[in-house]
Amino acid sequence: MALRLSSLRPGRPDKPKMPPSGNMYPTVQANRDMKKTSLLGACILALAMSMGSGEAVAKTPPDQLIIGMNMNNLLTLDPAAMTGNEVVGIVVNLYDSLVELDPEQLTTVRPALAKSWDISPDGKTLTFHLRDDVKFHSGNPLTAADVVWSMRRILHLNLAQASVWKSYGFSKKNIDSQVSAPDRFTVQIVLPKDNDPQLVIYSLAALGNLGVLDSKTVQSHQQDNDWGNRWLTTHEAGSGPFILETWQAKDVLRMKRNPDYWRGEAKMSRVVLRHFQESQTLRLMIEKGDLDIANNMAVSDINALRSDPQLTVDAVQRGTMYYVAMSMKEAHFANPKVREAVRYLIDYQGINKALMPGYGVLHQRPIKAGMPSTLPDPGYRLDVARAKKLLAEAGYPNGFDTTLRVLSDQPFLNIAIAVQSTLMQAGINAKIITGTGNQIYGAMRERKFDLLVGRGGSGMEPHPHSSLRALVYNPDNSDKARLTNFQGWRTGFYDPQLNTMIGPGPAGTRSAKTGG
């Protein structure tokens, strides 16, 4: 079970390759001569808002974008295995998808690799008509066979991105018969269960959910039937506006523009992401002009830079959430009274006021703000006396010892310290365990944690169903289910009634023909 600390409404980025959802990313940008306002459909992370005017003061090359960020949570470049906003912002610039969300109107789906698409009258068959002029970075033509292979690969690997498609009824057993290529530039997807086809199209449009791979290139790098997973961890085989040059974990990632991109060349010749662990180092680098953009800085450092006329502080509102997760597989948190007590041992208002400006706003429901429908917040506040009473009723009048896992960067670490402090007021002694994304979220994906401060888990698609699916849906609570992208499964939260309401069901209103 996860307690939501913050939620950010879907933003309206002005470039087509901006990830359509994610957290608010406070970014500090060097004011330059407007030459880096856009990447021509290839914005990185939540980075390329309009630049303020001013003299060119940065030392970075004029045709390159240099970004400073903490790369601890950048674990793989494989679209089927990726988790976290950091990698999504990279992958969407290396790969293309069938369709995409309009950044100005996130509920509108527009063509990408598919120039048009049809929905059958019964809502069970989606047919996509592809462009015939797209080439992968290898020079191989992109065809329907690559799309089919890419989708089958997701289910056969059963890694993080498989969870979305499994929620629609796809599986390793049925995917080969449900997705086909009637001809060289036509893809047909038959839904295995009753679903609203528009939700499926939203999932296809949520950048990263189905990045189309160069099947010939990936298959040439397969090892032990791994569908190229080991190779794709540090390489790419896409058709996107940028080509991966190099990635050295926790050091640097470089991408160069694709000169043959079907939408035209990006304006930046190269994008460089550099790893910085400390917020103060990022602050120093951006002040010196050695970075164009600094990401994920501590609020204190961001505030210190606001008065610098050479710099602009920007934030884009998105849709994911910061949360405190409790594992219901752990004996203490399996008790509902303990979980209720923890809800009253978090200073939501204090955390949001002191630690979250630019990162989030207070929100305590699983449906992210800005959706067509939502739920009223329950109004949880810090109430130590009430929490102590609940703990006593649960059999823990003196509290207990536990662990609290968190990434070793901001704002996560400061949130964890704040939560640790208020838990202690009721006798819950939470030892903080810090680590990289693989260490922290890896433990969560293996369901081997007690408490965890994290971010994400509200779904990429612009629909309430996406939030509920990502946060509370868990159709199979067994360890072998491996629904690793669902917070419900990660935390062991299981409610059959909710599963029935959220899971596959009759389709809603449909149009027979869509696409441009």
CA distances in angstroms from 76 to 34, 163, 253, listed in the order given: 32, 17, 12
More confident residue, 426 or 28: 426
Q: What is the pLDDT of residue 344?
A: 98
Question: Which ranges in 181-293 belong to alpha helices (H)?
Answer: 197-205, 215-219, 229-232, 279-288
pTM given for the model: 0.75
User: What whole-number distance in Å separates Cα of residue 485 and Cα of residue 490?
Assistant: 8
Q: What is the pLDDT of residue 107?
A: 76
Q: What is the pLDDT of residue 317?
A: 63
Orientation of helix 464-471 relative to helix 197-205, angle to 10°: 80
Q: What is the mean pLDDT of residues 148-156?
A: 97
Please say whether the beta carbons of 20 and 88 come within 8 A.
Answer: no
Q: What is the pLDDT of residue 471?
A: 84
pLDDT digits (tens, 9 = 90+) for 454-491: 987 655 666 777 778 888 889 999 999 888 878 899 99
pLDDT digits (tens, 9 = 90+) for 302-356: 888 888 888 888 776 666 788 999 999 999 999 999 999 999 999 999 999 999 8
Q: What is the mean pLDDT of residues 424-433?
A: 98
More confident residue, 103 or 396: 396
Q: What is the pLDDT of residue 10?
A: 32
Q: What is the pLDDT of residue 460?
A: 62
Q: What is the pLDDT of residue 56?
A: 31
Return the bridge partners of 242, or none.
Answer: 257
Please say whether the beta carbons of 123 and 190 come within 8 A.
Answer: no
Q: What is the mean pLDDT of residues 508-512?
A: 39
Q: For residue 198, give the 3-state DSSP assignment.
A: helix
Q: Is the pLDDT of residue 50 over 70?
A: no
Max avg pLDDT among 219-223, 264-268, 371-375 = 219-223
Mean pLDDT lowest among 77-81, 294-298, 326-330, 412-416:
294-298
Q: What is the pLDDT of residue 504?
A: 66
Q: Is the pLDDT of residue 128 over 90?
A: yes
Q: Is the pLDDT of residue 31 over 60?
A: no
**How is residue 131 annotated by DSSP?**
-
Q: What is the pLDDT of residue 469?
A: 80
Percent of the chain with pLDDT over 90: 54
Q: Domains, the chain, ranges and CATH?
A: 25-95+240-314 (3.40.190.10), 99-219 (3.90.76.10), 321-502 (3.10.105.10)
Q: Is the pLDDT of residue 386 over 70?
A: yes
pLDDT band at 9 (very low <50, low <70, confident <90, very high): very low
41 torsion bin: left (phi>0), alpha (psi -120 to 50), beta (else): left
Mean pLDDT lowest among 79-83, 334-338, 355-359, 491-495:
355-359
pLDDT digits (tens, 9 = 90+) for 159-192: 988 888 988 899 999 999 999 999 999 999 999 9
Structure tokens belonging to residue 494: 């299981």
Q: Is the pLDDT of residue 516 over 90?
A: no
Q: What is the pLDDT of residue 400?
A: 98
Q: Is the pLDDT of residue 11 over 50?
A: no
Question: Which ranges in 64-174 belong to alpha helices (H)?
Answer: 85-94, 144-157, 162-166
Q: Is the pLDDT of residue 151 over 50?
A: yes
More confident residue, 389 or 74: 389
